[in-house]
Amino acid sequence: MENERPNVTASGPGSVAIGGNAGPVTVNNYLQNKGIRPFKIFRGDPSHPLKDPSSGVINVSDLREDLLKIEDPREILPHATPVCIRGTLYPCALLVSGWWTRQQEGKIEVPQWDNDIQAWLFHGFHEWGPSWDFTWNFENTEGTHVKPYLIAQLGDGDEANSIPVIIPREKAKRLHEIFLEKGNRLGIKVGGFEVEIKGLLTHRIHFTDQELESFDLQQEDILNYCIWLKEGEVGHVIKPLLRRDKDIYSGYLWKLIAPQKWIEGKETIPLNQVYFVWEHTNFLKQDSVKYNLNSLEHKVSYIKGMHKEKHGEDDFILLQKSSSLVPGTPKWKADEFYNFFLGKTGETI
């Protein structure tokens, strides 16, 4: 299309080889592999018959602990299993986090960074795998594309301690309205609230109608699992809890920015032509979000000043961001990343 849609082929000192894949990786391809591709297997219905429903409510932290101990999910969880899970729901997809990164040690070709700040920011982003709301853009609809699935997370205390939740569009839309209503009461957009979710606990093996791709995930990795809800299924519900017994759900706010002169006219953008700027916050508290958004802007200002001293005056472009909590309209459209999630052919991101 245009400069807004760079493709994934590139070469040179700014490229990174990840997971033994052939060829270099650009910024878009990096985000695809780290954030979107691992969820693609979950976009269809689980194909196995259901077990009998389990009884009682399980805390998401207990569920994660149990799942990470399973050596063979085919024995412990042979079918998609109805469950009721309690935790903090946050409307973002967790990027593939530290356990996946550590499996890639020795396979990453580090680019030649422009400066140590740029190198450190990428290292932190890559190592800690923050969240991204690339499926949640009800406020900024692009075209008439209807999203059949949206990805959230259910966690306890921190986004790293979460499990993916696959939510059909109509349920997600109602949830979005709840988020907005709560945010309006507080005077700011905040992320996350306590819920009970009734749905299906599934593993990648339950989606056998689709190709089971390999992402170097280990057998015990939590991103092999998800809580899956089906539109029109009476028993699949998300119940917001009126009583808030959690005060902290922490995670990262981030911006992906680039100097205009570095990327102008380029169809592909190497990783060393951008800055992954991030700040850790408490999504459940208004003051924390405001404070850390302010800190994020201070970091951006510092980078702009540092860049000006070394390279001269230049405008910076916002390419992508973590969520609607972060102000600004990204240059890269979320729908293009979502189309990649759906496995649409002919896309060039």
CB 154 within 8 Å of CB 197:
yes
Q: Which parts of 165-265 fold into alpha helices (H)?
A: 169-186, 260-263
CA-wise closest residue to 279 among 267, 290, 264: 290
Angle between helices 116-128 and 286-311 (to 10 degrees): 140
Q: Is the pTM of this model over 0.85?
A: no
Q: For 100-171, where are the E strands, in sequence order?
A: 131-132, 149-156, 158-168
**Which pair of structure tokens corresponds to residue 307?**
């860049």
pLDDT tens series, the chain, 349 aa: 333 333 323 333 333 334 444 455 688 888 887 777 777 777 777 755 555 545 578 899 888 888 888 878 877 788 888 999 999 999 999 887 544 344 444 455 678 999 999 999 998 998 888 999 988 876 655 544 567 889 999 999 999 889 999 998 888 888 878 777 765 665 556 677 889 999 999 888 887 655 445 445 555 567 788 999 988 888 999 988 865 667 899 999 999 999 999 999 888 899 999 999 999 999 988 889 999 999 999 999 999 999 999 999 999 999 999 998 899 999 988 877 877 777 764 443 3
Write out the two tokens for 309. Answer: 């001293």
Alpha carbon of residue 127 to chain centroid: 14
